[in-house]
A and B are shown apart, each in its own frame.
Chain A
Amino acid sequence: MRSLRWLVLGVLLAGCEQELTVPGHCPEFCPSGQPKVFEIVLPAAASSDSSFFGYLGYSEVPALLVSDGLPAGEARSWYRFFSVPDSILVRDTLRPYTVDSIAVILTLIARDSTKKGLVFDLYRIPVTTDTTTSFEALNGELTPTSWIDSMPVPDSVQRGSVRRVFTGASLDRFVIPASDSGKHALGIRVRGPGPTGARISSLASSTGTASFVTYARVAVADTTLQKHTLSQTPEAAGFVRTSNGGQDPDLLYVGDLPAGRTILRFELPAVVRDSGTLLRVTLELQPARPMTGLANDAASLEVRGVDKDLGAKSTPLFARGGGVDLPEGSSATVSVDVIGIVDLWTLPQPPASMLYVGLRPEGGSFHRPVFHSTRSGSGAPQLRITYLVPAPLEKP
């Protein structure tokens, strides 16, 4: 009986894996109908596409922009550091100090990697500079008389810290007027052999922000207590850009600052919703102007679904989305595959048939694409839907 049990078990196990497939050919040797593939172009619902702004404030931007001669526009950045103390506590006594040297440290997030000879120029600017300061006002402060010095960026550094130490006579440029309460404010420009730009760290950057470091010496007998380092981080930072030409209500905006996002609504046809199987769904957006940014520094268009249509306050669905890198300088149609979102619209209890279009990185990119809307006369946003209508499976 034991041998019988093993034999039965062996044959059963041998049958656990089955390979059934043989080659077929339709329609001759194919016991099912042939599914049909259709394609439709579905424009966004008329006048229900719009852009909203203010999703990201100046203090939340992931990067600051500086540029020189870029088609994407001019940008200048600024930092205002916390106050530098006028004395140092040594052996329970606040003592005055002399400055040996000063280091300014910036963190480079991105640059055009093909351009050599990148240089940051540092300017002393009023400590009253804040996020309401316009491009024209800040740019007006960056003059030869306020110029402190330059910080060459080694060509080998694509991202990371860039440090410049100032000593001797150049320290005179860092003397803080009494009215500034010990604060330094620096304006940053960039230049290179041609049009160029860079992104540098902001207060919200994950890579760390800028530093203003003072190497001080206190007059005490104990030489081990003479040298001190005072390191200040920015209490405020920001950037300003030349205008994007204003906000035309007949166009759709994404990115920029305060960050803009666009909402598109669609009505999925019943034949697709009820009978079709989606194969590919592509959102097509027609740029209203060439998409300019910083070469070799990608920005991407991010498309998300929405659970409930609450207009500008709709919360994106982060589980389903699509995205595409924006081509530099192109006016070609931007296509984003969004089948993962539109597929949800065919469910028995679908979320809002709405797309939420934003830019990544939001608020810290040179790209600020502008697209035609349903009110533009042509080039309205549309979904290109390829779907399949299954054939009856049974054709004995």
Chain B
Amino acid sequence: MNRVRIVLLGALALGVPALAQAQSSQFGVRGLGLPSFPFSIRTQGSGGAGGLFDPASAVNPASLFLVTRPIASFNLIQNWRSSENRYGTATGNDTQFPLFIAGGQISRRLSGGVSASVYADRTFSLATEDSVELRGIPTAVFDTLESRGGLSDLRFAAAYRGDGVAFGLGFHLMTGTNRLAYRRVFDDSSYARVESLAELSFIGVGLSAGVIVAPNDHLLIGATARWDGDLSMELDTLSNGKLPLPVTLSGGIQWTPSARLTVGGHVIRQAWSKLDQPLKDRGGSGADNSLSASAGFELARSARTLDRFPLRMGIRWASLPFPLEDGLAQGSEFGVSAGTGYAFGGGRGVLDLALERIWRQQDSGFSEKAFAIKLGVTIRQ
């Protein structure tokens, strides 16, 4: 047991700082960035469909009721992306460590867990070219604005297992930093290059509650509600005001018609519009409510080897809360995913792999195609 505790704590300690590296996208430039949901790679293989019922995901605290022995899991995602907007095109890649989660059974009916995940990601780099008049001569300038980091979500949760029903509660500590770097280089090398650095840090708290009901042996129905308080911000240790965070509501269903097949889906709504005016007051382009939906399935090769290379497939769609420019229609993303998994060491270790093709779009001006390879490692006692 001690070894397990050490492994779990070590994994968490290593994982929290690594969350700083995250997914880069032009759709994360505005507002708090690109929202992210803490689904395990197993779940992401089926489009995130079973996320409300997965103990290795951190969306529904009630899902921890399935944890009957110590478990630790982390996600690793490599993205390749091709971005296009009305100012040009670019390709890029980045690595994301979006989720670490650990849990265990506290008593016969009570389980608990802690997770660290990405709530919203603001990793991007924007390059612009312009001309300014210096000493009466038009001079080309090349600007780069780079942001690394985002908002992380540290959740402490517990779930109570009843007869045919489970409840869960979570306490969320929202922390994070955006390390911002502005660089300007002049075409005329007589002028010195400019570099300006700033660090925007966040802190806030939230609460979440979830329930999972099992009307029969083949069906799970889940729902969550999450409330987050105001997010306090500091810019280089000086107070930078507060931003309200959205209420998040979600509901999902998982149907297991046979031992080999699981089908599911969920819907998540986030009330980001409460940030609209505060962001505009800060010179931003506002925010809209967002909706996310997914559906998918997992098909095992046989009822006896559920964890040996099952086939997972799914789709997801989400509207994006932050317009990239003033007056643009709300953006969206659509993903198609497939995945599988492999249990080893007598089921003590599970390796999950998922591939996802993602399309993001906002109006006709901004689009992005991304391909992601996702690896999840789960260790159980």
**Chain A residues whose CB sits within 8 angstroms of the CB of B194 once the complex forms:** 35, 277, 279, 388, 390
Which listed residue (B93, B279, B344) contacts A4, Cβ 8 A?
A: B344
Indicate whether A278 reaches chain B with its CB closer than 8 angstroms: yes
Q: Which of A15-23, A76-84, A155-163 contacts B (4 or more CB under 8 A)?
A: A15-23
**Chain A residues whose CB sits within 8 angstroms of the CB of B87 once the complex forms:** 23-25, 29
Indicate whether B375 reaches chain A with its CB closer than 8 angstroms: yes
Contact call B144/A21, Cβ cutoff below 8 A: yes
Known A-B contacts A39-B135, A279-B194, A394-B235; A18 and B282 likewise in contact (beta carbons under 8 Å): no
Contact call A393/B145, Cβ cutoff below 8 A: yes
Known A-B contacts A277-B194, A278-B192, A279-B134; A28 and B325 likewise in contact (beta carbons under 8 Å): yes
Contact call B324/A15, Cβ cutoff below 8 A: no
Q: Which parts of A1-57 form the interface with B (CB within 8 Å)?
A: 1, 4, 7-8, 11-12, 14-26, 28-33, 35, 37, 39
Contact call A22/B375, Cβ cutoff below 8 A: no
Which listed residue (B85, B128, B200) contacts A394, Cβ 8 A?
A: B200
Q: Which of B91, B178, B283 gathers the greatest number of chain A CB atoms within 10 Å?
A: B283
Indicate whether B76 reaches chain A with its CB closer than 8 angstroms: yes
Q: Which parts of B201-256 form the interface with A (CB within 8 Å)?
A: 235, 240
Contact call A396/B31, Cβ cutoff below 8 A: yes
Known A-B contacts A1-B349, A277-B196, A386-B135; A23 and B284 likewise in contact (beta carbons under 8 Å): no
Min CB gap A155→B, angstroms: 38
Contact call A21/B32, Cβ cutoff below 8 A: no
Indicate whether B123 reaches chain A with its CB closer than 8 angstroms: yes
Contact call A35/B184, Cβ cutoff below 8 A: yes
Known A-B contacts A14-B78, A21-B126, A37-B134; A7 and B375 likewise in contact (beta carbons under 8 Å): yes
Interface of A is mostly: mixed
Q: Which parts of B90-106 form the interface with A (CB within 8 Å)?
A: 90-95
**Chain B residues whose CB sits within 8 angstroms of the CB of A280 once the complex forms:** 134-135, 190-192
Q: Which of B22-30, B265-273, B309-317 contacts A (4 or more CB under 8 A)?
A: B22-30
Min CB gap B243→A, angstroms: 8
A396 to B33, CA, bound (A): 9
Indicate whether A91 reaches chain B with its CB closer than 8 angstroms: no
A32 to B186, CA, bound (A): 19
**Chain A residues whose CB sits within 8 angstroms of the CB of B200 once the complex forms:** 394
Contact call A21/B95, Cβ cutoff below 8 A: no
Known A-B contacts A4-B351, A29-B324, A396-B31; A339 and B192 likewise in contact (beta carbons under 8 Å): yes
Indicate whether A337 reaches chain B with its CB closer than 8 angstroms: yes
Q: Which parts of B153-190 form the interface with A (CB within 8 Å)?
A: 178, 180, 182, 184, 186, 190
Indicate whether A395 reaches chain B with its CB closer than 8 angstroms: yes
Interface residue count on the A side (C-beta < 8 Å): 44
**Which A-chain residue is minimally distant from B368 (CB atoms)?**
A22
Indicate whether B373 reaches chain A with its CB closer than 8 angstroms: yes
Contact call A23/B90, Cβ cutoff below 8 A: yes
Min CB gap B361→A, angstroms: 15
Contact call A15/B344, Cβ cutoff below 8 A: no
**Which B-chain residue is minimally distant from A388 (CB atoms)?**
B194
**Chain A residues whose CB sits within 8 angstroms of the CB of B127 once the complex forms:** 21-24
Indicate whether B116 reaches chain A with its CB closer than 8 angstroms: no
Min CB gap A42→B, angstroms: 14
Indicate whether A384 reaches chain B with its CB closer than 8 angstroms: yes
Indicate whether B333 reaches chain A with its CB closer than 8 angstroms: no
**Chain A residues whose CB sits within 8 angstroms of the CB of B375 once the complex forms:** 7-8, 11
Indicate whether B119 reaches chain A with its CB closer than 8 angstroms: no
Q: Which parts of A340-396 form the interface with B (CB within 8 Å)?
A: 343, 384, 386, 388, 390, 392-396
Residues of A within 8 A of B (CB): 1, 4, 7-8, 11-12, 14-26, 28-33, 35, 37, 39, 277-280, 337, 339, 343, 384, 386, 388, 390, 392-396
Nearest 4 pairs between A and B by C-beta? A15-B95, A23-B88, A24-B126, A20-B125
Residues of B within 8 A of A (CB): 21, 24, 26, 29-32, 76, 78, 83, 85-95, 123-128, 130, 132, 134-135, 143-147, 178, 180, 182, 184, 186, 190-192, 194, 196, 198, 200, 235, 240, 279, 282-284, 324-326, 344-345, 349, 351, 373, 375, 377
Supply 7 A–B pairs (Cβ within 8 Å), ascending by A.
A24-B127, A31-B126, A386-B134, A390-B182, A394-B178, A394-B200, A396-B30
